[in-house]
């Protein structure tokens, strides 16, 4: 639509000084766009609520058959067995999940933080421009690839030669360690980019003040910048940890499906996510108690990761306030 000078001068709207709103095509379009945008926003909120509702109702119906005491008190998880042998104690899945997540965290968090310190404090702008896209590529690799990498490379070519052949520990083909290692690598980009943001917003004046007191670059980074960005770094750790807890494909492939209470990282474990995948893929009849146990596990997982996300958001908000 072109606006000619003519249309500007002759249109009554532009001449009148009245502020009363009239119906116009523009206003109509505005209304439609506003409605569409609201619809989109509402859709995602609605989906979230719907998911929580489905989770909650199915979980409640699971607890009609299985007591909460058994769920939280038993140490056996054997939904596939019959009769007396059937147990629904969540602990094997929780320990499996956290075993993998803790291994991942002990690899991914330091690695991510160190690379963040390097990028923010040491790297030249040129180096940073090369390194950051590489990290983003790492973040873009499908997790199933990481799973196969653990299964066909890390276990047979790294863990077995070192731990089994050289040191004599037995390493299962499915094991928590290989899964933890690849999940650790997976969370490096998350930790690195969030921590780097936190480090970069530390005011330059603090760095200069530290240099002026006779600091080396290492003193400045480790004693001033990192402590000043600590809450942001902790938030990135929590977020990355909750990602490791929720990670599905890689652990399903690499850690196996052994729901036993076991903290030996060289043996197979089953994480909560891996169990959910198993039930979803298997021929478990809908409505059966095994099927409903999926929801109870999913709800536990949801509650755990939600708690961690809320804590990390809270920490992050606090730290933003510090410098404003």
Q: Which of 70, 74, 197, 219 binds other proteins (CB under 8 A)?
A: 219
Length of the chain: 324
Burial of 279 (0-12, 13-18, 19+ CB in 10 A): buried
Q: Distance between CA 19 and CA 17 in Å, rounded? A: 6
Rounded to a whole number of angstroms, the minimum distance from the CB of residue 192 to other proteins is 22
Q: Distance between CA 175 and CA 101 in Å, rounded? A: 13
Does 317 interact with other proteins (rule: CB under 8 A)? no
> Which residue number, 161 or 227, has a Cβ lying nearer to other proteins?
227
Tell which positions 25-44 bind other proteins, by CB under 8 A: none
Q: Which of 72, 209, 263, 306 binds other proteins (CB under 8 A)?
A: 209
> Which residue number, 207 or 292, has a Cβ lying nearer to other proteins?
207
Tell which positions 237-276 bind other proteins, by CB under 8 A: none
Cβ pair 293, 88 in contact under 8 A:
yes
Does 228 interact with other proteins (rule: CB under 8 A)? yes
Size of site (CB under 8 A) for other proteins: 19
Does 211 interact with other proteins (rule: CB under 8 A)? yes
How many C-beta atoms surround the C-beta of residue 232 within 10 A?
Answer: 26
Site track 112-141 with other proteins (rule: CB under 8 A), x = hit: ------------------------------
Tell which positions 148-207 bind other proteins, by CB under 8 A: 203, 205-207
Stretch that binds other proteins, among 62-70, 171-179, 221-229, 258-266 (CB under 8 A): 221-229
Helix, strand or coil for residue 88? strand
Q: Which of 32, 33, 173, 213 binds other proteins (CB under 8 A)?
A: 213
> Which residue number, 25 or 212, has a Cβ lying nearer to other proteins?
212
Q: Distance between CA 270 and CA 254 in Å, rounded? A: 10
> Which residue number, 73 or 203, has a Cβ lying nearer to other proteins?
203
DSSP conformational letter for 284: P
Rounded to a whole number of angstroms, the minimum distance from the CB of residue 272 to other proteins is 38
Q: List phi, psi (to 5°) of 77.
A: -125, 95
Alpha helices, H only, 201-288: 204-212, 217-219, 226-228, 230-246, 249-255, 272-281
CA-angle at 28, arms to 22 and 31, nearest 5°: 115
Q: Distance between CA 158 and CA 178 in Å, rounded? A: 9
> Which residue number, 104 or 224, has a Cβ lying nearer to other proteins?
224
List contacts with other proteins (CB under 8 A). 203, 205-216, 219, 223-224, 227-228, 322
């Amino acid at each position: 639509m072109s606006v000619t000078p003519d249309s500007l001068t002759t249109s009554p709207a532009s001449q009148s000084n009245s502020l009363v709103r009239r119906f116009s095509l523009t206003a109509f379009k505005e209304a439609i766009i506003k409605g569409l945008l609201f619809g989109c926003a509402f859709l995602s909120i609605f989906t979230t609520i719907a998911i929580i509702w489905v989770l909650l109702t199915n979980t409640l119906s699971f607890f009609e058959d299985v007591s909460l005491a058994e769920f939280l008190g038993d140490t056996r998880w054997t939904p596939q067995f019959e009769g007396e042998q059937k147990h629904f104690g969540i602990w094997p899945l929780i320990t499996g999940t956290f075993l993998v997540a803790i291994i991942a965290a002990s690899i991914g968090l330091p690695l991510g933080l160190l690379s963040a310190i390097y990028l923010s404090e040491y790297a030249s702008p040129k180096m940073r421009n090369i390194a950051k896209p590489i990290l983003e590529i790492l973040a873009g690799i499908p997790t199933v690839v990481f799973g196969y990498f653990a299964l066909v490379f890390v276990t047979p070519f790294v863990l077995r030669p070192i731990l089994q052949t050289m040191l004599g520990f037995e390493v299962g083909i499915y094991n928590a360690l290989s899964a933890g290692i690849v999940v650790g690598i997976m969370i490096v980009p998350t930790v690195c980019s969030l921590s780097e943001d936190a480090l970069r917003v530390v005011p330059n004046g603090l760095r200069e003040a530290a240099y002026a007191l006779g600091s080396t670059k290492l003193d400045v980074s480790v004693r001033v910048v990192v402590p000043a960005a600590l809450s942001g770094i902790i938030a990135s750790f929590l977020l990355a940890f909750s990602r490791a807890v929720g990670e599905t494909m890689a652990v399903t492939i690499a850690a196996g499906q052994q729901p036993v209470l076991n903290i030996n990282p060289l043996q197979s474990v089953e994480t909560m996510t891996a169990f959910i995948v198993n039930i979803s893929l298997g021929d478990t009849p809908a409505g059966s108690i095994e099927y409903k146990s999926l929801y109870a596990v999913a709800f536990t997982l949801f509650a755990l990761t939600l708690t961690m996300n809320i804590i990390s958001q809270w920490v992050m908000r606090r730290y933003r306030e510090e410098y404003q």
